[in-house]
C-alpha cells in the first residue's frame, strides 16, 4: 500500500506560507484523521509548533519522504470546518488576497482547539417571551420576497431601506422566526455590540435562550462554549459583530446585517474583508437570503439595488402610528458670528433647550468628534503640540489634566509655555464634550446633564448606565459624540442639537460626505419618536452643502443622486474600484525610496493597460509608533483585474525586495 500524506494549511497570517504543505501521518492517526481536522504540526526551520488545518490527502509527497515532517497530534477529535466553510475561506483567499490559513482561522477560533476549563453553568432565568407584532401594509409587502426565498431555499441579497423607526427590526424578527420554523439558524450582524443593548433585549425577549451574543470581550471559555452551542444548534440565533458571520451553524437559513452602512463591517486587518460581501458569498453557497438593512444605505449598496444586483425593499413610514419625522432646521454659524454671538451655541438652540427644560422634555446635544478639535496650540506662533511617535495632535483631557495621543495612547503633562517660541499664550483649544458640558452647566445650572463619549465609556456598563439613566428621564440633557447617534430612541427626547455638522470640511476621504449625511440622518432620527413632534437644529459653516440639506429634508434619493454625480466626476466607487497599497518602514528615507520604486513598477506594468495609478503619498496617518507609512492608490472599473494586477506587482516587487512590507486593501472604507 502506498503511504498517504495529509495536506495541511498552516494557520499563520503570513503571505509567504500561503500554500499547502504535506505531512506524514503518524500510525495511530491513520484511521482517525479526516479533512477539516485541526492538528498541531512542526513548522519552519525551528520546527515551531503551529496549528494546521487538514484540507485533503495525497499520495504524492513532492519531496524526499525521509525528510518529511510528521503531524504531532490532533487538537480536536472531530472536523472543525466543513467543505462549504472551506469554500468560503478559499473564496476570501483570492477575493481579498489573504492567506488561506488566516481565512480558515476565522471559522475555527483559537480558543476552541485549546482545552478551556469547564465552568459551572450559570443558572439562567427564562425570560417572558414577547409576541410578534402585526405587520403593517408596507412591512407586509417587504416581508414577502424574503419569506419566499426562505421557503424556496434560494439565495438573494436584499437591501432593506427603511427610515429610522419604520420597523426594520420587527421584520428581522419575523424572518428569523420563519427560518427557525424551517429548522434552520440565523445570523444577525450589528456594527458594535456594546452599543446595542436594546437590540439584544428585543431579541432575547422574542427568542429566549435560543439567542447567543458574541462580542470582543468574551473570555476564551465563553467563546468556545458559544462555538460549540452553535455547532450543535443548542442556540440557533446569533447576534454579534462582523466575526459572528463565521458562526458554525449546521444549517444557516438567513443572514442579516443591521445598519449595513457602518464602517465596522470592513475588517482593517488581513483578511480585509467586508461582511456584506462575505455574507453574499455565503448566501450563494448555502442558498439562503441575505438582508442588508439601513436607513441610509451605502451609495455602493443603493447602486447595486438600482442595477438589480440586490432586490430592493423600501419602508417609507414610521411604524408607530402618529410618530412624525422631526422638523429639522439648518443654522448658519457664520451669521451667528457676524451677529456677535461667539458662543458654541446659536441663539435659537439656547432658546430651544430652555423651552425643553421648562416643559420637562429631554435634549440630546451631538458633537462630532472629528469636527471639533481639542488640540493644544500656541496663539503666538501657531505651534501645535503633537505626539512624537505618531505626529498627530494630542488631545487635552481636562479631568485628568493630561495630553493624550488618541492613536498610540501616549500621555504627557500639558505645558505652560510654547516649546517653539516660549510664548505663554499656549492654549488648550477647541470644543470637546467636556467643554460643551461646562458651558451647558453654566447656562442652565438647574439642568441635569449626562455626557457620553469614548473617554467616558470604559466598557459596556458605563454605556448601559448612561443609557438607562437617560431613558428613565433622570437627566434633561445628554451630550455625546457619534455614540449617541444610535439607539437612544426615547419618547422623552424632543430636541436634538447638532453642534457642528461640518465633518466634510475636515477629511480628504471621499466617504466623508456620505458619512456626514448618514450621521446627520441618524442623529435626527433620535428626536420625536412620540406624539410630540421632535425638533432638530443643525449648526454648520456650510449650510448650502447637499449632504446637510438632504439630511435635513430626510431625502435619501436626492442625496444619492448628488453623491453619484460627485463620485462619477472624481472616479470613485461605485463607478470604479480602488486598490490601496500601504508600505511601511522604520526608515523614512528608505521607505520613500522603496515606495517610489514600487510606484515605477506599477506604472511600467499598468499605465498603458488602463489602470489609473496615483502618486505615492504619505498616508493620512504618516507615522504610527515610529513606523512610517506611505500609500499608493490604483483605480480600475474591473475589480478582478485590479486585484490580479495588484498581487502580481506586489509579488514581483517582493522578489526584488523580500523584506519590504506592503499591504493591499481593496475598496477600503477608510483611506489611510
Least distance in angstroms from the C-beta of 536 to ligand ADP:
16
Which member of 75, 76, 135, 627 binds ligand ADP (CB under 6 A)?
A: 135
Residues 160 and 171: beta-carbon distance below 8 Å? yes
Task: Pick one of ligand ADP, Zn ion, none as the site partner of residue 407 (Cβ within 5 to 8 A by kind).
Answer: Zn ion
Task: Pick one of Zn ion, ligand ADP, none as the site partner of residue 162 (Cβ within 5 to 8 A by kind).
Answer: ligand ADP
Task: Pick one of ligand ADP, Zn ion, none as the site partner of residue 513 (Cβ within 5 to 8 A by kind).
Answer: none
**Closest C-alpha among 217, 232, 202, 216 to residue 264:** 216
Residue with Cβ nearer Zn ion (201 or 411):
411
Which member of 133, 152, 421, 604 binds Zn ion (CB under 5 A)?
A: 421
Task: Pick one of ligand ADP, Zn ion, none as the site partner of residue 389 (Cβ within 5 to 8 A by kind).
Answer: Zn ion
Least distance in angstroms from the C-beta of 324 to ligand ADP:
13
Q: Considering CB under 6 A, how many residues would be counted as binding ligand ADP? A: 15
Site map for ligand ADP, 156-175, x if CB under 6 A?
Answer: ------x-xxxxxxx-----
Least distance in angstroms from the C-beta of 375 to Zn ion:
13
Residue with Cβ nearer Zn ion (22 or 377):
377
Q: Which residues of 423-451 are buried (b: 16+ CB within 10 A; e: fewer)?
A: eeebebbebbbbbbbebbeeebeebebbb
Q: Which of residues 65-104 bind Zn ion (CB under 5 A)?
A: none
Stretch that binds Zn ion, among 136-144, 167-175, 340-348, 418-426 (CB under 5 A): 418-426
> What whole-number distance in Å separates Cα of residue 42 and Cα of residue 58?
19
Query: What residues form DSSP beta bridges with 493?
Result: 362
Task: Pick one of Zn ion, ligand ADP, none as the site partner of residue 482 (Cβ within 5 to 8 A by kind).
Answer: none
Task: Pick one of ligand ADP, Zn ion, none as the site partner of residue 383 (Cβ within 5 to 8 A by kind).
Answer: Zn ion
Q: Which of residues 281-340 bind ligand ADP (CB under 6 A)?
A: 319-320
End-to-end CA distance of the chain: 56
> What whole-number distance in Å separates Cα of residue 440 and Cα of residue 345?
9
C-alpha cell at 313: 425593499
Helix then strand then coil, in percent of the chain rounded to 5, is 35, 20, 40
Task: Pick one of ligand ADP, Zn ion, none as the site partner of residue 139 (Cβ within 5 to 8 A by kind).
Answer: ligand ADP
The two beta strands, 5-10 and 48-58, are antiparallel
Give the position of cell 463619549.
Answer: 453
**Closest C-alpha among 415, 406, 413 to residue 378:** 415
Q: H or E element: which one contains 590?
A: helix 588-606
Which member of 288, 357, 365, 418 binds Zn ion (CB under 5 A)?
A: 418
> What whole-number distance in Å separates Cα of residue 49 and Cα of residue 47?
6
> What whole-number distance in Å separates Cα of residue 585 and Cα of residue 660?
8
> What whole-number distance in Å separates Cα of residue 359 and Cα of residue 198?
27
> What whole-number distance in Å separates Cα of residue 288 and Cα of residue 512?
33
Task: Pick one of Zn ion, ligand ADP, none as the site partner of residue 587 (Cβ within 5 to 8 A by kind).
Answer: none
Residue 241 neighbours by CB under 8 Å, 6+ apart = 189, 190, 191, 192, 193, 214, 215, 216, 264
Site map for Zn ion, 395-414, x if CB under 5 A?
Answer: ----------x-xx-x----
Residues 515 and 368: beta-carbon distance below 8 Å? no
C-alpha cell at 189: 450582524
Residue with Cβ nearer ligand ADP (136 or 328):
136
Task: Pick one of ligand ADP, Zn ion, none as the site partner of residue 494 (Cβ within 5 to 8 A by kind).
Answer: none
Task: Pick one of Zn ion, ligand ADP, none as the site partner of residue 457 (Cβ within 5 to 8 A by kind).
Answer: none
> What whole-number distance in Å separates Cα of residue 212 and Cα of residue 224?
12
Does residue 92 sit in helix, strand or coil?
A: helix
Residue with Cβ nearer ligand ADP (168 or 545):
168
Q: Count CB-CB contacts under 10 A for residue 569.
A: 9
Beta strands in 110-177 (DSSP E): 156-162
> What Rg do the C-alpha atoms of the chain give, in angstroms?
27
Least distance in angstroms from the C-beta of 387 to Zn ion:
3
Which member of 341, 420, 620, 670 binds Zn ion (CB under 5 A)?
A: 420
Least distance in angstroms from the C-beta of 431 to Zn ion:
22
Query: What residues form DSSP beta bridges with 70?
Result: 24
Residue with Cβ nearer ligand ADP (3 or 140):
140
Task: Pick one of Zn ion, ligand ADP, none as the site partner of residue 133 (Cβ within 5 to 8 A by kind).
Answer: ligand ADP
Which member of 16, 67, 117, 134 binds ligand ADP (CB under 6 A)?
A: 134
Task: Pick one of ligand ADP, Zn ion, none as the site partner of residue 52 (Cβ within 5 to 8 A by kind).
Answer: none
Least distance in angstroms from the C-beta of 151 to ligand ADP:
22
**Closest C-alpha among 38, 36, 109 to residue 75:** 38
Least distance in angstroms from the C-beta of 177 to ligand ADP:
14
Give the position of cell 420576497.
Answer: 145
Residue 376 is a binding residue for Zn ion (CB under 5 A)? no
Q: Which of residues 410-469 bind ligand ADP (CB under 6 A)?
A: none
What distances in angstroms separate CA 219 from CA 106, 117, 192, 214, 339, one per listed residue? Answer: 17, 11, 18, 10, 56
Give the position of cell 421557503.
Answer: 151
Q: Count CB-CB contacts under 10 A for residue 39.
A: 22
Task: Pick one of Zn ion, ligand ADP, none as the site partner of residue 632 (Cβ within 5 to 8 A by kind).
Answer: none
Least distance in angstroms from the C-beta of 160 to ligand ADP:
9
Residue with Cβ nearer ligand ADP (169 or 377):
169
Site map for ligand ADP, 519-538, x if CB under 6 A?
Answer: --------------------
Stretch that binds Zn ion, among 259-267, 344-352, 375-383, 594-602 (CB under 5 A): 375-383
Binding site for Zn ion (CB under 5 A): 378, 380-381, 383, 387, 389-390, 405, 407-408, 410, 418, 420-421, 423
Binding site for ligand ADP (CB under 6 A): 133-136, 139, 162, 164-170, 319-320
Amino acid at each position: 500500500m502506498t503511504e498517504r500524506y495529509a495536506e495541511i494549511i498552516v494557520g499563520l497570517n503570513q503571505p509567504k506560507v500561503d500554500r499547502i504543505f504535506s505531512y506524514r501521518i503518524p500510525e495511530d492517526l491513520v484511521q482517525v484523521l479526516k479533512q477539516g481536522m485541526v492538528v498541531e504540526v512542526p513548522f519552519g526551520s525551528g520546527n515551531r509548533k503551529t496549528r494546521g488545518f487538514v484540507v485533503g490527502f495525497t499520495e504524492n509527497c513532492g519531496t524526499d519522504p525521509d525528510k518529511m515532517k510528521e503531524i504531532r497530534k490532533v487538537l480536536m477529535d472531530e472536523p472543525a470546518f466543513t467543505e462549504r466553510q472551506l469554500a468560503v475561506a478559499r473564496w476570501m483567499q483570492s477575493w481579498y488576497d489573504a492567506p488561506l490559513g488566516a481565512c480558515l482561522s476565522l471559522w475555527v477560533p483559537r480558543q476552541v482547539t485549546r482545552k478551556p476549563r469547564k465552568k459551572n453553568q450559570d443558572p439562567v432565568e427564562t425570560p417572558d417571551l414577547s409576541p410578534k407584532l402585526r405587520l403593517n401594509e408596507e412591512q407586509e409587502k417587504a416581508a414577502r420576497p424574503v419569506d419566499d426565498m426562505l421557503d424556496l431555499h434560494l439565495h438573494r441579497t436584499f437591501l432593506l431601506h427603511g427610515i429610522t423607526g419604520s420597523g426594520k427590526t420587527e421584520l428581522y424578527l419575523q424572518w428569523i422566526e420563519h427560518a427557525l420554523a424551517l429548522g434552520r439558524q440565523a445570523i444577525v450582524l450589528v456594527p458594535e455590540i456594546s452599543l446595542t443593548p436594546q437590540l439584544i433585549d428585543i431579541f432575547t425577549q422574542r427568542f429566549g435562550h435560543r439567542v447567543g451574543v458574541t462580542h470582543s470581550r468574551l473570555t476564551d471559555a465563553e467563546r468556545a462554549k458559544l462555538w460549540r452551542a452553535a455547532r450543535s444548534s443548542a442556540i440557533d440565533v446569533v447576534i454579534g459583530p462582523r466575526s459572528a458571520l463565521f458562526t458554525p451553524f449546521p444549517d444557516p437559513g438567513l443572514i442579516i446585517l443591521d445598519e449595513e452602512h457602518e464602517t465596522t463591517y470592513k475588517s482593517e486587518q488581513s483578511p480585509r474583508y467586508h461582511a456584506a460581501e462575505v455574507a453574499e458569498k455565503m448566501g450563494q453557497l448555502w442558498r439562503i437570503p441575505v438582508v442588508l438593512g439601513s436607513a441610509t444605505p451605502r451609495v455602493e449598496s443603493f447602486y447595486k439595488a438600482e442595477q438589480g444586483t440586490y432586490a430592493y425593499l423600501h419602508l417609507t413610514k414610521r411604524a408607530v402610528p402618529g410618530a412624525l419625522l422631526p422638523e429639522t432646521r439648518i443654522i448658519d454659524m457664520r451669521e451667528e458670528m457676524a451677529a456677535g454671538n461667539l458662543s458654541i451655541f446659536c441663539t435659537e438652540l439656547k432658546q430651544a433647550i430652555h423651552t425643553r427644560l421648562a416643559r420637562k422634555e429631554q435634549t440630546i446635544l451631538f458633537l462630532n468628534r472629528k469636527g471639533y478639535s481639542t488640540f493644544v496650540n500656541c496663539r503666538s506662533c501657531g505651534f501645535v503640540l503633537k505626539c512624537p511617535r505618531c505626529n498627530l495632535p494630542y488631545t487635552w483631557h481636562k479631568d485628568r489634566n493630561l495630553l493624550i495621543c488618541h492613536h498610540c495612547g501616549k500621555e504627557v503633562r500639558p505645558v505652560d509655555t510654547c516649546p517653539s517660541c516660549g510664548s505663554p499664550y499656549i492654549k488648550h483649544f477647541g470644543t470637546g464634550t467636556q467643554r460643551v458640558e461646562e458651558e451647558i452647566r453654566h447656562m442652565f445650572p438647574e439642568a441635569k446633564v449626562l455626557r457620553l463619549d469614548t473617554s467616558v465609556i470604559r466598557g459596556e456598563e458605563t454605556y448601559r448606565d448612561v443609557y438607562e439613566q437617560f431613558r428613565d428621564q433622570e437627566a434633561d440633557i445628554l451630550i455625546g459624540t457619534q455614540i449617541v447617534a444610535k439607539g437612544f430612541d426615547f419618547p422623552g427626547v424632543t430636541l436634538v442639537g447638532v453642534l457642528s455638522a461640518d465633518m466634510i470640511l475636515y477629511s480628504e476621504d471621499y466617504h466623508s460626505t456620505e458619512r456626514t449625511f448618514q450621521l446627520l440622518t441618524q442623529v435626527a432620527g433620535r428626536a420625536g419618536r412620540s406624539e410630540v413632534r421632535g425638533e432638530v437644529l443643525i449648526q454648520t459653516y456650510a449650510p448650502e452643502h447637499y449632504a446637510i440639506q438632504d439630511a435635513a429634508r430626510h431625502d435619501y434619493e436626492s442625496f444619492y443622486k448628488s453623491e453619484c454625480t460627485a463620485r462619477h466626476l472624481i472616479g470613485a466607487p461605485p463607478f470604479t474600484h480602488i486598490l490601496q497599497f500601504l508600505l511601511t518602514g522604520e526608515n523614512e528615507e528608505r521607505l520613500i525610496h522603496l515606495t517610489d520604486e514600487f510606484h515605477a513598477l506599477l506604472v511600467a506594468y499598468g499605465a498603458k493597460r488602463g489602470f489609473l495609478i496615483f502618486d505615492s503619498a504619505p498616508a493620512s496617518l504618516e507615522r504610527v509608533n515610529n513606523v512610517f507609512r506611505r500609500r499608493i492608490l490604483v483605480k480600475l472599473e474591473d475589480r478582478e483585474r485590479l486585484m490580479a494586477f495588484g498581487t502580481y506587482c506586489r509579488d514581483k516587487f517582493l522578489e526584488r525586495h523580500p523584506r519590504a512590507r506592503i499591504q493591499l486593501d481593496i475598496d477600503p472604507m477608510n483611506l489611510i
